[in-house]
Amino acid sequence: MANILSMQSHVAFGYVGNKAAVFPMQRLGHDVINVNTVQFSNHTGYGSWTGDIMSIEHIDNIFKGLDDRQVLDNLDAVLTGYLGDKALGEVLLKWLDKIKAKNPNLLYCCDPVIGDVGRGVFVRPGVPEFFQNQALSYASILTPNQFELTYLTGIEINTLDDALKACQILHVKGVQTILVTSLTRNGNEDNIEMLVSNAQETYLIATPKLNMPIAPNGSGDMTAAVFTAKFLETQDLKQSLEHTAATIYAVFLKTQQLQQRELAIIQAQDEIVEPRTKFVAHKL
């Protein structure tokens, strides 16, 4: 069992942010502390929502309370996603510095939530620049989607070579491991691919694309969480990628079967632990 702190959004209804991340990591046997950067009624994909972005003071105070309990001393990993505001990211980095001073081996998985294909950038001004200019150097694992990979590197992704070149740019910037959470390239439109890369090895995996009237939000949040949880357990890129791809496919399949818009994480929870359908990652 690992101790993980997950800092991202929270919604009262639905499954995005911490609602899509915390439960899967717990089902995989880890203890999770969740720090919520926003509390919204529902995710922003609906077009309207209510709620608030947490203030800098609020987030800083939560970390201070955790530090007072010496909880931060025992962390194995930190996972972050939707931040809501650049200033919240800067508070995060301040605390990451403090945590890493005590635990240099801390794993930091950064999901650089910026935008998505078809929606463009959907975060506040300053947040994309925060990821690009400040957060990258801290990340042990970076989990961009295809849109975010292009944004962070300037490379339009049409081919596998494009994706590999973009990953190499991020490696040069200091990111150890990159998981591209959704990749659709020319000539392979019937599949959704994931690509994972570090300095030693690169793997590609494909799962069938499932047709849904509206694609569920939160899959990237869940992908980053499951990969982080499995990597902490196995320290193996291939195993972690295969389990993650199979889990996300299982949840999407259950969501499709139930004809619902929100991810069927609860209904498919047993397959978070042991997916029925397996997929094989291929070394590049």
Domain with 154 in it: what CATH number? 3.40.1190.20
Asked if residue 207 belongs to a domain, the reply is no
pLDDT, tens only, 167-226? 999 999 999 999 999 988 876 778 999 999 998 999 999 999 998 888 899 999 999 999
Share of the chain above pLDDT 70, in %: 100
Phi-psi region of 99 (alpha: psi -120 to 50; beta: other; left: phi over 0): alpha
Euclidean distance between CA atoms 193 and 177, whole angstroms: 17
Asked if residue 163 belongs to a domain, the reply is yes
Domain containing residue 80 = 3-182+216-241
Q: How would residue 159 be classed by pLDDT, with cut points 50, 70 and 90?
A: very high
Asked if residue 251 belongs to a domain, the reply is no
Asked if residue 265 belongs to a domain, the reply is no
Asked if residue 88 belongs to a domain, the reply is yes
Residue 44's pLDDT is: 87
The whole model's pTM is what? 0.96
pLDDT at 90 over 90: yes
Asked if residue 210 belongs to a domain, the reply is no
Nearest to 127 by CA among 81, 80, 85: 85
Asked if residue 117 belongs to a domain, the reply is yes
What letter represents residue 50's amino acid? T
- 253-257: which pairs have CB atoms within 8 A and are 24 or more residues apart? 253/210, 253/277, 255/212, 255/216, 256/210, 256/211, 256/212
Structurally, the chain folds into a number of domains equal to 1
Residue 188's pLDDT is: 72
| Burial of 261 (C-beta count, 10 Å sphere; 0-12/13-18/19+) | middle
Q: How far is CA 267 from CA 30, 34, 49, 259, 273, in A?
A: 20, 22, 25, 13, 13
Asked if residue 246 belongs to a domain, the reply is no
pLDDT, tens only, 43-62? 988 999 999 999 999 999 99
Contact 28, 226 (CB under 8 A): yes
Share of the chain above pLDDT 90, in %: 88
pLDDT at 143 over 90: yes
Residue 121's pLDDT is: 83
